[in-house]
Amino acid sequence: MIRQRPCWIDPADPGETFPDVSLALREPDGLLAVGGDLSPGRILSAYRRGIFPWYSEEQPILWWSPDPRTVLFPAALKVSRSLRKTLNRQRFTVTLDQSFEAVVAACAGPRARNSGTWITGDMASAYSKLHARGFAHSVECWLDNRLAGGLYGVAIGRVFFGESMFSRESDASKVAFCHLVRQLKAWDFGLIDCQVYSAHLASLGAEEIPRSRFVRHLDILCEHGQDIPWRFDENLQLEPWS
Angle at 178 between CA 136 and CA 232, to 5 degrees: 60
pTM for the structure as a whole: 0.94
Q: 3-state DSSP call for residue 106?
A: helix
CA 232 – CA 221 distance, rounded (Å): 21
CA 183 – CA 172 distance, rounded (Å): 17
pLDDT for residue 60: 94
pLDDT for residue 31: 97
pLDDT for residue 65: 98
> Would you say 149 and 172 are in contact if contact means Cβ atoms under 8 Å apart?
yes
- Amino acid at residue number 183: Q
pLDDT for residue 51: 98
pLDDT for residue 113: 53
Domains and CATH numbers, the chain: 7-67 (3.30.70.3550), 70-238 (3.40.630.70)
Q: What digits encode the pLDDT tens for the residues 103-158?
A: 999 999 876 555 446 799 999 999 999 999 999 999 999 999 999 999 999 999 99
pLDDT for residue 120: 92
Where the chain has pLDDT below 70, the residues are 1-3, 111-117, 226
CA 49 – CA 216 distance, rounded (Å): 10
